Amino acid sequence: MATSHRVLPGFRLSLGFTWAYVGLLVLIPLSSLVLKTVSLSWGQFWDTVTAPRALAAYQLSFLASFAAALVNVVFGLLVAWVLVRYRFPGRSLVEALVDLPFALPTAVAGLTLTTLFSARGWYGQHLEALGLRVAYSGLGVAVALTFIGLPFVVRTVQPVLEAIDADVEEAAATLGATPWQTFTRVLFPAVLPALLSGFTLAFARALGEYGSVVFISGNMPMRTEIVPLLIVTKLEQYDYAGATAIAVVMLLASFLLLLAVNLLQRWSQRRLESRPGT
């Protein structure tokens, strides 16, 4: 008779603990946010969340986060590929540098990026000579969000690439596939779910980022002001209901976007598993 071996015995006990833990850390704090917003009438809520300054902040936050996540998908895949497929001097150092944004205080990252990309910075002086301004612009916001999002893509894709045997690529080449065909028809479908997961994590992290953006953005209303900064500004003005109203909009939009991406990821995973030979 087969016996099951479970590390955590008791499904009901484990599920109850899970709900209690998630409720204490996620549901109750978010519920208090919604309850504070309810103190506003519907008209006040609508006027607050659709104010021109708020709409400009939504646009910048979502567009910059989306662009940063896309950049990280491309270059994160490349970095993960190099770390998995090649052995070279300094590989361990590159591995540690990839994780640095995880450990580095975001304010330190923001100050460093602002110094580098300012008009007299190492990068900024050359870019501004070309007519490209990074610091105190929307582009600077995207750069900061790209910096903090890279590890999410690399660390999500890297285990999947390690699981793909190099013999698969050699077999494809033996059968006459070009390098582009091997990538698009063999490798890319296998790493696509992991890429979507990395994109989701990087995008979600960028939406809530504050410390690394607050310096390089310049915080100009209607131009370079992100939503987290607008919320902080309203809190400093003792407009607690207005701050929570904007936070609720961000919460709802972020949840819907993440839900859509997760559904897309599941669809991609099922499609991959239904392919012959997988």
Mean of pLDDT values over 202-231: 87
List of E strands, 84-183: none
In the predicted structure, residue 266 carries a pLDDT above the cut 70: yes
Q: Residue 147's pLDDT is what? A: 92
Structure tokens at 261: 């991406």
Specify burial of residue 155 (Cβ count, 10 A radius: 0-12, 13-18, 19+): middle
Provide the whole-model pTM.
Answer: 0.84
pLDDT tens-digit series, residues 73-117: 999 999 999 998 888 888 889 988 988 888 888 888 888 998 999
pLDDT tens-digit series, residues 57-76: 999 999 999 999 999 999 99
In the predicted structure, residue 168 carries a pLDDT above the cut 90: no
Q: Return d(Cα 107, Cα 197) in angstroms, integer.
A: 26
Q: Residue 4's pLDDT is what? A: 55
Whose CA is closest to 34, among 140, 61, 26?
26
Tokens 């779910």 found at:
193
Specify burial of residue 177 (Cβ count, 10 A radius: 0-12, 13-18, 19+): middle
Whose CA is closest to 110, among 214, 202, 231?
214
Report yes or no: 256 and 244 within 8 Å, Cβ to Cβ.
Answer: no
Category of 226 on φ-ψ map: left (φ > 0), alpha (ψ -120 to 50) or beta: beta
Report yes or no: 116 and 128 within 8 Å, Cβ to Cβ.
Answer: no
Count other Cβ atoms within 10 Å, centred on residue 264.
15
